[in-house]
Chains A and B, each alone.
Chain A
Amino acid sequence: MADSGQQADGCAIEVERLVKSYGDFNALRGVDLKVKWGEGLAIFGPNGAGKTTLIKILSTIAKASSGRVSVGGFDLQGDSVKARRQIGVVTHQTLLYDELSTYENLRFYGKMYDVPHLADRIRELVAQVDLEARRDDPVRTLSRGMQQRAAIARALLHDPPILLLDEPGTGLDQRANEMLINIVSSTGNGRRTVIMTTHSLEQGLAFCNRVLILARGNIVYEESGKLDISTLREVYHRHTGVGY
């Protein structure tokens, strides 16, 4: 796995009193969270709860209004560049350039991330996501599922120890979904840390050993260990007034 600020006792993600407001709207109102290295965390919550905002802040797309955030051992306040090396992000947008081929996209991002032995790495990833046949075709000619697989390759290019998945279920076809589960769970030296926001309780539980529910900008429920889906469903409804 790529070099990280990884320490045995440190946390992959540390969030302290995180507040994010967009003008008058408070998307996150004081979130405290610690995610250990190797943990798999699923975040559930209704729309507007702040899930995507949280992912945006962890991935440095958005800046916290107040509070402390540390990703991969690096404080986002001062070391956000180093922090970005530690994370790979998969969202419902592919983050790929339509006119360029999968290969060219990966070449570009590889250069930006200083990926060593880039050509070999690309070959390896393209094989893993089963896109060898269409490697040199412009991304816009690929099917949605293929595009998502290419996006997964992009996210994993620099072998990040932390994966942020923002509602990966949407837009992923069956095959891509399985691929994601396989890649994410398979390891080299130790598990990747995974944080996933999702609407699907099943998918969340497949990946993760810890669960939290976000509602109206606050964490309202947290649980780890053996999780039962029907219990979870009931808890979710109780805390958010919304069914699943």
Chain B
Amino acid sequence: MKESAGKVLAITRKDILSEMRTKEIVTSIVAFALLVIVVVSLALDPSERTSAVAAGVLWIAFTFAGVLGLGRSFVMEKDKGCLQGLMLCPVDRAVIYFGKMLSTVIFMLVVEAIILPVFVILLDQPRFPPHLVLITVLATVGFAAVGTLFSALSVNTKAREVMLPLLFLPVASPVIIAAIEASGLALAGGPWSEILPWLGVMVAFDVIFLAVSPLVFEFVLEE
């Protein structure tokens, strides 16, 4: 069990090392997320920049950016047959799943850490609630839990750029809804008691899909 954990981290570390060389994923996604926020905000009247609406803008940006990031995760493996290289390793397929999932979470958290303060400023929010961080982390784990599976799947199909969001968005909708609602409440300074049920939804989602996805992952990898 412990050596599996070591191998999961080896995969994650390998991804991070690779990304640090090129900075491809993080820079393009940060730029994209910012762009979405700017464009959508331009459609809004200043009076409409309530916390509820702002939360919506934020999570639209994070969702689209997340889909981009998820897509990149397995494209890099498809190149040069590296995915097969991973499959040849004497590890359970679930190890590959968790390794990739973890690196996706880390990349997205880096992007989100940059975007969040910028967002608060751009949309002129009265406060930066600390709960926003927790909400973001839970949602990101949920995205990666289901997104890693779908990313591996779509990389092997035609129209892969369309396939991934098409599969991902409806399935991830509970997390998106929960993130938007909870963020809206947090930005408005709402009470914990109201935010908690939404966190519950996200935790339930995360736990369920972190359990189910690795079980079916082998069927996506193997021919």
Interface residues of A (CB under 8 A from B): 22, 56, 59-63, 81-82, 84-85, 87, 89, 91, 93-100, 104, 108-109, 111-114, 138, 154
Contacts and interface: CB of A to CB of B under 8 A. Distances in A.
Contacts of B222: 60-63
B80 A98 contact: yes
A61 B85 contact: no
A63 B22 CA distance: 35
A59 B18 CA distance: 26
Given A60-B88, A84-B88, A111-B10, A100 B18 contact: yes
Nearest to B14: A108
A61 B87 CA distance: 6
A60 B222 CA distance: 8
B79 A95 contact: no
Contacts of B3: 114
A75 to B, nearest CB: 15
A91 B84 CA distance: 10
Contact of B21 (A59, A99, A112): A99
A30 B125 CA distance: 67
A63 B223 contact: yes
B43 interface: no
A82 B223 contact: no
A112 B117 CA distance: 38
A97 B10 CA distance: 14
Contacts of A60: 87-88, 222
Contact of A94 (B80, B90, B223): B80
A112 to B, nearest CB: 4
- Interface size range on B against A: 20 to 34
B80 A95 contact: yes
B87 to A, nearest CB: 6
Given A61-B222, A61-B223, A63-B222, A97 B82 contact: yes
Contacts of B10: 108, 111-112
Contacts of A59: 88
Contacts of A91: 81, 84
A36 B203 CA distance: 53
Contact of A112 (B18, B81, B82, B90): B90
B17 A100 contact: yes
Contact of B90 (A82, A104, A154): A82
Contact of A84 (B7, B80, B89, B223): B89
B223 A100 contact: no
Given A94-B80, A95-B82, A100-B14, A89 B88 contact: yes
A61 B17 contact: no
A82 B92 CA distance: 10
A84 B17 CA distance: 26
The 10 residue pairs across chains A and B that have the minimum distance between CB atoms: A93-B81, A95-B85, A62-B223, A112-B89, A84-B90, A111-B10, A99-B21, A99-B18, A85-B90, A108-B14
Contacts of B92: 81
Contacts of B79: 98
A94 B79 CA distance: 10
A94 B82 CA distance: 8
A95 B86 CA distance: 9
A206 B90 CA distance: 30
B17 A111 contact: no
Interface in B49-84: 79-82, 84
B6 A111 contact: yes
A10 B209 CA distance: 42
A108 B10 CA distance: 7
Contact of A99 (B7, B22, B81, B91): B22
Interface in B188-223: 222-223
Nearest to A147: B80
Contacts of A97: 14, 18, 80, 82
Contacts of B81: 91, 93-95
Contacts of A87: 88
A81 B17 CA distance: 26
Contacts of B88: 59-61, 84, 87, 89, 95
B14 A96 contact: no
Interface string B79-109: 1111011111111100000000000000000
